[in-house]
Amino acid sequence: MHLGVLILAAGEGTRMRSRLPKVLHPLAGKPLLGHVIETARSITPDEITIVYGHGGETVCNTLAADDLDWVEQKERLGTGHAVMQALPQLQKVDQVLILYGDVPLISGSTLVSLLAALHQTDLALLTVDLPDPTGYGRIVRDRNDRVVRIVEQKDATERELEIAEINTGIMAVSKNRLESWLGRIENNNAQNEYYLTDIISMAVNDGVNIQVVHPVCEEEVMGVNDRKQLAYLERYFQQQQADMLMASGVSLSDPARLDVRGKLTVGKDVTIDINAVFEGDVSLADGVRIGPNVVVKNSRIGADTEILANSVIEDAEIGADCRVGPFARIRPDTQIADQVHVGNFVEIKKSQVATKSKINHLSYIGDTVMGSEVNIGAGTITCNYDGANKFQTVIGDRVFVGSDTQLVAPVTVADGSTIGAGSTITRDTPAETLSLSRAKQISIDGWQRPVKKPKK
Ligand code: UD1
Ligand code: CA
């Protein structure tokens, strides 16, 4: 059996009131359609085809991948019409699974159940009972509880509107049947659209025993039409991630104030304070403590390291038993070894810092290779940029840099060097020496301070 997943994503998304196509709006940092594509991939179909709308080229450009086929629906004439546009693409397909680009949280396991149901028949539908079914297509059943058709809200009678079981839109169908049914659908309904849902009554007429499957939870089948619904699903998704983290041994100060936008891998006894944001691939080893308002992106943090409040870490590797922050900024391409201390208002970029070194206050370290047991005094700046090019600073082991020092790169401060406070170091310093470049201090006797001129 050749399985094709068809994702409908041609909706205009007017209620988002956005310049961005709806399906590109992010949920947990990833476009809505990206979630659907990822779930589709998880069930390993033979092909994935996406129907996008007029002007939706940014959608294809953003999410292009070798395993995705794109079909444009030039006019938005209904869900049935959208599926028809894709049929010529589905030559080799025997079974079609229809998903929606704006229904991001459908789960792989529900789709597996739906496909299992299709094995026994030619059409399997995903439906759910809702306390408020307003707006959805209703599932009409006969006296024997068999599905007979779907009626859209706008075409329904008073009695049909009372039906709580709704069409999620997600279904799995035999391709040949789908093709023949779609060939017969018409648009003589309240919205003058070609409804995909009309194939249900055709299937019944053809003696097909329609199988029904339900999702595990409502959120799986909830669509995003406006920003309020998007925010609701975001919070739901984040709550789920918080639950999984706690189940795996993480302590969260407040599960409602955590945002994971990517993949967070955690060891044992990790604690995370409020308002932490994790983006991309982040791993936190055993015993890592994350303070409040910390942002970590694509980084690895070693065992028992503490990241204090308001620190921002991106594309970096931090070793074990370190203390970083509060208010530290670790920028891309930085590797920090074990037992390093980085304090407040310290920025480190594209640098390596070896074990037990300390940069505790108000410093900029860029394009630097730093040895171990180095002490960088407050206000030290590596002057790595001459306005045109970047240069490297090399600092050996056991170096002591006095406060308010500028290291003008390219420059090497050899092992064991001491730099006097307030120096501007422009030449390499020999090992185990004291270097300083300070004007001699003078004191002027009887110095008179200027006084304010009297007002006229
Ligand atoms: C559709 C279903 C309804 C179901 C509801 C679930 C039909 C006729 N009705 O209604 O039974 O309860 O979804 O949310 O199918 N789309 C296209 N091209 C089109 C029209 C739609 O790609 O020409 C896509 C949209 O981007 C969207 C999805 O299909 O992702 C559903 O379209 P929408 O207009 O929201 O359908 P509903 O009227 O809500
Ligand atoms: Ca809808």
Q: What is the pLDDT of residues 109-146, one digit of tens each?
A: 999 999 999 999 999 999 999 999 999 999 999 999 99
Ligand 1 atom nearest to CA at 103 = 30
Selected catalytic residue, list 25, 119, 214, 361:
361
CA nearest neighbour of 42 among 93, 91, 115: 115
C-alpha 282/C-alpha 284 separation (Å) is 7
Q: What is the mean pLDDT of residues 289-312?
A: 98
Residue bearing the CA closest to ligand 1, atom 17: 10
pTM comes to 0.94
Please work out whether the CB of residue 32 comes within 6 Å of at least one atom of ligand 1.
no
Omega prior to 131 cis, within 30 of 0? no
Q: Which residues have C-beta within 8 Å of that of residue 48, sequence separation ≥ 6? A: 4, 5, 7, 37, 40, 41, 67, 68, 69
User: Is pLDDT above 90 for 456?
Assistant: no
C-alpha 81/C-alpha 72 separation (Å) is 11
**How many CA atoms, within 13 angstroms, populate the side-chain half-sphere of residue 71?**
21
User: Is pLDDT above 90 for 54?
Assistant: no
Give all domains of the chain, ordered by start, each with its CATH number. Answer: 3-221 (3.90.550.10), 237-435 (2.160.10.10)
pLDDT of residue 55: 74
> How far does residue 159's CA lie from ligand 1's centre (Å)?
22
Query: How confident is the model over 203-258, as pLDDT tens digits?
Result: 999 999 999 999 999 999 999 999 999 999 999 999 999 999 999 999 999 999 99
Is 361 an active-site residue?
yes
Query: How confident is the model over 439-449, as pLDDT tens digits?
Result: 899 999 999 99
Q: Which DSSP letter does residue 343 get?
A: E
Please work out whether the CB of residue 166 comes within 6 Å of at least one atom of ligand 1.
yes
Q: Decide: 398 and 416 in contact? Cβ < 8 Å.
A: yes
> How far does residue 13's CA lie from ligand 2's centre (Å)?
9
Q: Decide: 227 and 234 in contact? Cβ < 8 Å.
A: no
> How far does residue 137's CA lie from ligand 2's centre (Å)?
10
